Amino acid sequence: MPTCAVLPKGELVRFKSTLLARKNILTGNEVVHLNEDEVFSRNDLSSRKTEMFKEEILNDRKRSEIRQIDAALDRIKAKTYGLCRKCNNPINKERLEAVPTTDLCLPCCQKEKPFR
């Protein structure tokens, strides 16, 4: 178990507010942009079906992102935020800035989800 947080308190507070702000957007009625090309490879669905489908995907994405945000907030509380859950090393700060919900350092993430 890590004995102290890797990030200074100010940084933690900043990450926490980023996470909370993101969660507010997700739980509110804010429209999340979804790249259609990314999701639809077929265009043979009726537009109504497409709308419903899109809604479902959005909700799934929102739910999983909210879960990740909650987990990150829990780690902040537990003072393990910013530490890799696999190797316990501090996660690179640029990586945290880019993906504030991550709990894996880059080497571990690459091991877990290899690019090829």
Closest by CA to 75, choosing from 107, 110, 102, is 102
Binding residues among 90-109 for Zn ion as defined by CB under 5 A: 105, 108
Hey, how many other C-beta atoms are within 10 angstroms of the C-beta on 116?
2
Q: Give yes or no for residue 87 binding Zn ion (CB under 5 A).
A: yes
Helices (H) and strands (E) in the chain, counts: 5, 0
The residue from 14, 16, 86, 95 that contacts Zn ion (CB under 5 A) is: 86
Q: How far is 64 from 60, CA to CA, in rounded Å? A: 6
Query: Shortest gap between Cβ of 39 and Zn ion (angstroms)?
Result: 31
Q: Is 52 near Zn ion (CB under 5 A)? A: no
Which is nearer to Zn ion, 62 or 86 (by Cβ)?
A: 86
Task: Burial-class residue 86 by CB neighbours within 10 Å (0-12, 13-18, 19+).
Answer: middle
If binding is defined by CB under 5 A, does position 85 make contact with Zn ion?
A: no
For the CB of residue 34, give the shortest distance to Zn ion in the complex, in Å: 31
Query: Binding segment for Zn ion among 5-13, 60-68, 75-83, 85-93 (CB under 5 A)?
Result: 85-93
Residue 90 φ then ψ, to 5° = -60, 140
Report the interface residues with Zn ion, using CB under 5 A: 84, 86-87, 105, 108
